[in-house]
Amino acid sequence: MKSIHGMLDASQIIEFKPKGIILSGGPESAFAEGSPKAPQEIFEMGIPILGICYGMQTMTEQLGGKVLSSSHREFGYAQINFDHKSQLFDGIDEEDHLLDVWMSHGDRVEDLPHGFTSLANSENSPLAAICNIEKNFYGLQFHPEVTHTKNGQAILENFIHKICGCGSAWNPGNIIEGDIQKIREEVGDDHVLLGLSGGVDSSVVAALLNKAIGDQLTCIFVDNGLLTT
């Protein structure tokens, strides 16, 4: 799913039939005039939604809650006290229910929309994570997608697999096999000449081509003048 800035319109989203939607972060204020909004129709689709940072704030505003500029802003490391019983935090066993996270926000949720409850709080964000259990709507003020948030990957996996019910068939191994098959179909009996610089991009292409077509590939090393001695 694209970010709010590149959000598909409602008809495209409905046609796509997603199992869930993630509304990503951004630098704007959700309460400002002209700020980016998610299509209102997504909140009536009956599927799980996760709002991250600005995504949580615009979801709050669009569903009747209130977001305000905070006098105590959080940029960088913070600790949240979270609800272990929530499916979003399932399997995360942190001492004293405290989790190290990464914040980056100047606004915060002040009043929750109808049906929402708090899942976590930090020193400067009394509503650091929120949810509407009945509708499977979740919001995180912190950023689970960055490595600085401990167990951020587990939080995202909980949303994708346990809440949205998505499988895990799409993985790097499947992508590689798919690309190899596609290369074989496109190349056929032809030969491929590849300029190889030694960088990551051309080296990965060379490895894939070699697996796909073997001796039909000829690599030429290109000294671009940027190699170290």
pLDDT at 29 (0 to 100): 85
Residues of the chain with pLDDT under 50: 1-5
183 and 153, same domain (yes or no): no
Q: Under a CB-based contact definition with an 8 Å cutoff, are residues 217 and 191 in contact?
A: yes
20 and 130, same domain (yes or no): yes
pLDDT at 2 (0 to 100): 37
For the chain, the straight-line distance linking the first and the last C-alpha, in angstroms and rounded, comes to 43
In a domain, residue 113? The reply is yes
151 and 181, same domain (yes or no): no
pLDDT at 1 (0 to 100): 37
188: left (phi over 0), alpha (psi -120 to 50) or beta: left
In a domain, residue 229? The reply is no
30 and 115, same domain (yes or no): yes
In a domain, residue 42? The reply is yes
46 and 129, same domain (yes or no): yes
Residue with tokens 């671009």: 224
H or E stretch covering 209: helix 200-213
In a domain, residue 149? The reply is yes
Residues with catalytic function: 53, 143, 145
98 and 210, same domain (yes or no): no
115 and 194, same domain (yes or no): no
In a domain, residue 101? The reply is yes
H or E stretch covering 111: strand 98-111
Q: Under a CB-based contact definition with an 8 Å cutoff, are residues 142 and 53 in contact?
A: yes
Residue 149 contacts by C-beta under 8 Å, 6 or more apart in sequence? 99, 100, 101, 102, 142, 143, 155
pLDDT at 134 (0 to 100): 96
Beta strands at 192-196 and 49-52: parallel, antiparallel or unpaired = unpaired
197 and 217, same domain (yes or no): yes
151 and 178, same domain (yes or no): no
Q: What is the tally of structural domains in the chain? A: 2
Quote the percentage of the chain above a pLDDT of 70.
93
In a domain, residue 120? The reply is yes
> Which residues form the domain of 179?
172-221
140, 163, 186 - which closes a domain: 163
113 and 207, same domain (yes or no): no
pLDDT at 161 (0 to 100): 95
